[in-house]
Chains A and B, each alone.
Chain A
Amino acid sequence: MPRLIVNGKSHDLDIEPDMPLLWAIRNEIGLTGTKYGCGIAQCGACTVLIDGKPVRSCMMGSGAAEGKQITTIEALEKDGTLSKVQAAWVAEDVPQCGYCQSGQIMSATALLNHTPNPDDSDIDAAMAGNICRCGTYVRIRRAIKRAAASPLGKDKV
């Protein structure tokens, strides 16, 4: 009976501990911003932050996430204000179909948390786990650099 702390809120769930966090979040807690793409941690669509680090929620059992701080895309916008990564995403018009972008933004947020001024190779290394079939990679790179330069300052998650 895992207790999951998602976006600061505690959820007591009557689910199997091996139910991947992704399905606990999407089906049991009802936050659908985190997406299913592959189920084997290859595409990054399901990326969430656990204690600030990017994790593929499709491969992590809910039991293993117990007690940890889980952050999903829904928590980045605070009181109607976009996070600097989200704001950069909008400014660069990154999304096309948009399906992978929750995962992309979570990975980018984690990157900027520990590498505030990433160069291209930092970006490639941090973002290579997130597939975008629409091919928005050029704009993702631009948006990460824009967010890094953002005067909003650090908004660590």
Chain B
Amino acid sequence: MEFIPNKHGFVEIRLESIGGQGAYSVGQMLAQIGVEGSHLHAICFADYGSEKKGAPVKTFVRFAKDDVTILNYSPVNEPQIVAVFHELLFKTQPVTDGLHTDGILIVNTDQTPEQLRAMYNLNVKTIVTVDATKIALQYKTKLNTAMLGAIFSSLNFLDPTLAADAIEKMFGYKYPHLVEPNVSTFKDGMEQAQTHVFTDVEAGIAHTRKPTPFGYETQNQGGEIAGPNSYTKNLTASREGMMPEYLNEKCIHCSNCDNVCPDFCFVWEEGVDARGRAQMFLQGIDYNYCKGCLKCVEVCPTQALVSMVEERDYADAHRVQKPFDFLGGVK
């Protein structure tokens, strides 16, 4: 993409990621390269929530020509470019919200642009896909520099030869040994990106801000919450490729896993043991909440829990749902 500013004079980019993937670093590198290499003005920032690694986070980069002082410090709601660092985010976040239909969508996935478009019913002119996770595994790096490469593959107003320098600046001070593998990750990301331009794109819907349902008439006074409700969340997007596999036949139901699981994913049921006494039995894992830390695999004495590379749809198929006692039996 050339430097074609929107009606406000900006080129705007939004990076959709989960905390810990290094999207903010990518935003900073993009902005830095634009400022230093292409003499653009830029601002770069992330939406700072209170959630941690594994939680969705947005990073924003806003570019303008160097005769424009950027005074718009607000989040990017109508980006020309969106990069999605984690495909699972399509399930939990409105990642393409407000994206210009003639813009660019860059996604970390093992699918092709055509497949991705069909899967998520995407309405954007240019789709770029790259298997950043795979590239990163190969170099033992984070996938963010592969995504940086894919972003560079579609932007020609930034000079890719400056990326190595930006990576050096980012890692060189604290982690010099990471510079070289990250440069390789970047190059592979750029080379392996697949781009498809679609011609049958429909007119887009303008972005609107949605008001919170928790208004001054509907919030409980003082912000009180009546009982637990976080069980309604889906945390699967916190996993970054690995997950535990449960092999029931090897399990001795020792509960070591239950003792160390930070996310209470193990589902137990009372049953009767061989001697006819009441005893607790592990049923399986509620993958809806599993963040893939694999602490359970470490403490399992019988290898009934082993680590596996997450396969598409495996979690849904093997999830043992945690039972909840819904009020009045109503979900």
A and B interact: no
